[in-house]
Structure 1
Amino acid sequence: MTTTTTYVPAGHLGVDEPRARFHDLVAAEWIKLRSLRSTWIAYGATAVAVVAFNTGTAYDTYNHWPQRDAADRAGFLRDGIALQEAFTTNAAMVMMLALGADGAVVIIGEYSTGTIRTTFAAVPARSSVMAAKTVVVLAVTTGFGVIVAGASFGLTQAILGRRGADVPITYPGALTLMLASALLAPVCALTGMAIGSVIRRTAATMIASVVVALVLPLVFTDGRHWSAVAEHATLYQAWNRLAEVSHSPTAFPWTDGGAWTVYAVWAFTAAGLAVTSAHRRDQ
């Protein structure tokens, strides 16, 4: 008897071996993400920190409400300060830093351990693998953002409601603030993922994420037209524009539509960079 062995070139599938379907890749990436205990610890700690910043501000207002005079209380209600306390700037900064790091870890974790080689050996279609990772990160962080933003609004207004200083979700600008705060999570996570896919080094990626999220918005000012345009193009300033209850006059004003455009450009650019970077470089 003669045994015939058929060798399949590396990177090619055998006749009877089906190609990996995209939903299978998404399922595999979801298993990778949820099977890591550090994932849930990171998201849980971030959620607690963000909600704590918001509720802490509301509780401080609750405690000092009796010391306010009538004019101060009326101004608080008239100016919609309760809505500003539903999601504070400190909470937004924490979310940006944490979600950028979480998104980056999805990439640099596999590169640092070398498991990305196994993944690409099993599925040579690198762009499909990275697209699946992007879909999973987008879905998880969007859900995270919605839960945290909703919890922050509900808890802060419940605290302020005990003093009669709360606002309903139908208050002008409330839905915009909640949507902008919720979507800040996936956009920052995709940005961190894109940075990690390009740099592929933990320390350098984290530094770059901090620079992009918080340092760049501080570098530019509204004093010059070019500087104002650059400032408006940052994620933090886009969120800040959408979160403003009353818009103070500036030399170079912009609109909510411009801020939403910044969100979209950052998200699509980051996703595209994350998907294509692995295809153009060795692992």
Structure 2
Amino acid sequence: MTVTSMTALMPATAAPARFRHLLAAEWIKIWSLRSTYWVLGAGSLSVIGINANSAYSNADRLSGMPAEPSAPPPGMRGEPLMAFDALHTAFLDPAWQIFMVVACSVGAIAVFGEYTSGLIRTTLTAVPDRRAVILAKAAVVTGVMTVLGAVVATATLLLTQYLLRDHGGVSLADPEALRAVAGSALLAPLCALVGMAIGAVVRHAAGAIVGAILTLLLLPALFQGETYRWVAEIGNAMPLSAWETLSGNHWGEGKYPVTVTEAWVVYAAWAVCAVLVAVEAVRRRDV
């Protein structure tokens, strides 16, 4: 048998997967998990519901108050009633902290879910380039969570301001409102990427959720106060502090305030570092 005939009988080698094929595969994976629908749906409704309830309660309370700030009643000490901040009602800390954990959980599930099911072995056998796999996963998670964050932030603002329309509600065209919506929308993919990094390192459901809470919520609480500048600066470098600046959800400037530019830099730095950690964790550790 000649070399030519032997070559003709050999099976053709499969072409290497292109990056768009990896994107399609990751898109199918993320939506094939029923937990994705439940977690994203429940998290989104929780954020909108908490903020809407706050707006409704404040609208009901303000309906019985004078339109202008008034002095405290005789015999009572204190400052005059302050003007109501309608924008703050759409971006309450508790609601968006819940959303941060939800987004982080989705990112973590996208990684450790493959390890717990054993699918990661099939994936890496088909595509040995682990970096490409994680980058495709990060791209899909970022796209999904960006759209979801934009929908939730916009819906929350519009609904709360509609409820507060008679008490100084703001519109989406307001620069501060637009920045708050953008910052809250991008908070979702940022936390999802952090979740991917935690999931790649921990590879366990409970451990990933605990890691998300520790990283996103408890660490900022440890670095509060203005006695020492280095403590305040570490706190300012946390995603929660950056989001509070972008959404206007903070009280007073303090000695070491976070500027809007610094807040965007924090967002970008955390996103890049999270992707690098996820890539290196998957590349260096065996399945």
Per the normalisation by structure 1, the TM-score is 0.90
Determine helix, strand or coil for the equivalent of 1:223. Answer: coil
Matching residue of 2:74: none
Q: Which amino acid aligns with 1:189?
A: A
The residue type equivalent to 1:41 in the other structure is W
- Aligned 8 A contact 1:223 1:251 in 2: no
Checking the alignment, whether the CA contact within 8 Å between 1:217 and 1:231 is kept in structure 2 is yes
Q: For residues 55-70 of structure 1, what are the structure 2 equivalents within 5 Å?
A: 55-70=52-67
Q: 1:246 to 1:35 in 2, by over 3 A?
A: closer
CA contact (8 A) 1:76 1:82 kept: no
Tell me the amino acid that sits aligned with residue 27 of structure 1. A
Q: Does residue 191 of structure 2 align to residue 188 of structure 1?
A: yes
Q: How do residues 203-222 of structure 1 correspond to structure 2 at under 5 angstroms? A: 203-221=206-224, 222=226
Matched, 1:84 2:88: yes
Q: Which range moved further: 109-118 or 270-279? A: 270-279
Deviations 1:120-171 (A, max 9, x none): 111111111111111100000000000000100111111111x243112233
3-state SS in 1 of match to 2:13: coil
Alignment pair present for 1:241 and 2:238: no
**Counterpart of 1:167 in 2: which secondary structure?**
coil
CA 1:69–1:232 in structure 2 vs 1: closer, same or farther (change >3 Å)?
same
Shift of residue 72, structure 1, vs aligned partner? 4.0
Task: Work out the number of aligned pairs and report it.
Answer: 273
Are the structure 2 counterparts of residues 249 and 43 from structure 1 closer, same or farther at C-alpha, using a change threshold of 3 Å? Answer: closer
Contact preservation (8 Å) 2:242, 2:264: yes
**Deviation digits for residues 240-277 of structure 1 (CA, Å, limit 9, x no counterpart):** 11222686231222311111110000011111221232
Q: Give 1:34's aligned amino acid.
A: W
Range moving further from structure 2, 23-32 or 36-45: 36-45
Letter in 2 for 1:76: A
From 126, 137, 148, give the equivalent of 1:122: 126
8 A contact 2:91–2:249 mirrored in 1 = no
Q: Structure 2: state its 5+ residue gaps.
A: 71-80
Q: TM-score, normalised by structure 2?
A: 0.89
Following the alignment from structure 1 to structure 2, what is the Cα–Cα distance between the partners of residues 41 and 267?
Answer: 25
Asked if structure 2 preserves the Cα contact closer than 8 Å seen for 1:127 and 1:279, the reply is yes
* Segment of structure 1 superposing worse, 144-153 or 252-261: 252-261
Q: In terms of Rg, which structure is larger?
A: 2
Q: Give, in angstroms, the shift of residue 53 of structure 1.
A: 1.1
Match in the other structure for 1:176? 179
The CA distance in 2 between the partners of 1:91 and 1:246, in whole Å, is: 15
Deviations 1:42-90 (Å, cap 9, x if unpaired)?
111111001011111100011112222233498435xxx1111122111
Distance in 2 of aligned mates of 1:17 and 1:47: 42
Return the alpha-carbon distance in structure 1 between the equivalents of residues 250 and 123 of structure 2: 50
Counterpart residue identity of residue 61, structure 2: H
Inter-CA distance 126–164: structure 2 relative to 1 (3 Å threshold): same
Structure 2 partner of 1:159: 163
Give the CA RMSD over aligned residues.
2.3
Task: Map residues 1-283 of structure 1 onto 2, 5 A cutoff.
Answer: 16-72=13-69, 75-76=82-83, 81-161=85-165, 163-221=166-224, 222-244=226-248, 248-283=252-287
Cα deviation for residue 172 of structure 1 reads 4.1
